[in-house]
């Protein structure tokens, strides 16, 4: 299993834990945006938007560049890849368990069908 930086994963999952920040990331996936553009869909102040952006920056999920008086933000997706790899272990875990449950249920359905068929022969 791949070793993960626990602190990095904690900050990424903390950042992703908020719907506003997830929406900001989705918006940034279409291209860079100003802080004002990121704040606009939420009718929030620039100060509130800046707090969300700072959280995303701390997680390494966005990069901010100052151009004159304008702060431009762009997506930095590599921490998402680390989180995806970490989650893949659990996807495999649950897939195996659900496959086992499906096999058990199919076997039970097969047994029920046999009982029903035997009852119809009488």
Q: What is the CATH number of the domain that holds 26?
A: 1.10.10.10
Number of domains the chain contains: 1
Instruction: Tell me if 97 is assigned to some domain.
Output: no
Instruction: Tell me if 98 is assigned to some domain.
Output: no
**Contact criterion met (CB below 8 Å) for 65 and 74:** yes
Give the model's pLDDT for residue 37: 94
Q: What's the pTM? A: 0.70
Instruction: Tell me if 74 is assigned to some domain.
Output: yes
List, in order, residues 6 or more apart from 25 with CB less than 8 Å away: 16, 56, 61, 62, 75
Per-residue confidence of the chain (122 residues) as pLDDT tens digits? 445 678 889 999 999 999 999 999 999 999 999 999 999 999 889 999 999 999 999 999 999 999 999 999 999 988 988 888 888 887 777 777 787 788 888 888 777 777 777 765 54
The boundaries of the domain holding residue 26 are 6-78
Instruction: Tell me if 68 is assigned to some domain.
Output: yes
Instruction: Tell me if 53 is assigned to some domain.
Output: yes
Angle between helices 6-16 and 19-28 (to 10 degrees): 100
Q: Please tell me the distance from the alpha carbon of residue 9 to that of residue 82, in angstroms, as a whole number.
A: 8
Angle between helices 6-16 and 78-120 (to 10 degrees): 70
């Amino acid at each position: 299993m791949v070793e993960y930086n626990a602190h990095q994963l904690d900050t990424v999952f903390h950042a992703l834990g908020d719907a506003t920040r997830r929406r900001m990331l989705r918006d940034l996936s279409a291209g860079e945006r100003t802080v004002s553009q990121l704040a606009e869909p939420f009718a929030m102040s620039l100060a509130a938007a800046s707090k969300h952006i700072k959280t995303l920056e701390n997680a390494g999920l966005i990069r901010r560049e100052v151009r004159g008086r304008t702060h431009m933000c762009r997506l930095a997706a590599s921490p998402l890849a680390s989180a995806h790899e970490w989650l893949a272990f659990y996807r495999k875990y649950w897939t195996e368990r659900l496959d086992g449950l499906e096999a058990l249920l199919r076997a039970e359905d097969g047994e029920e069908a046999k009982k029903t068929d035997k009852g119809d022969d009488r």
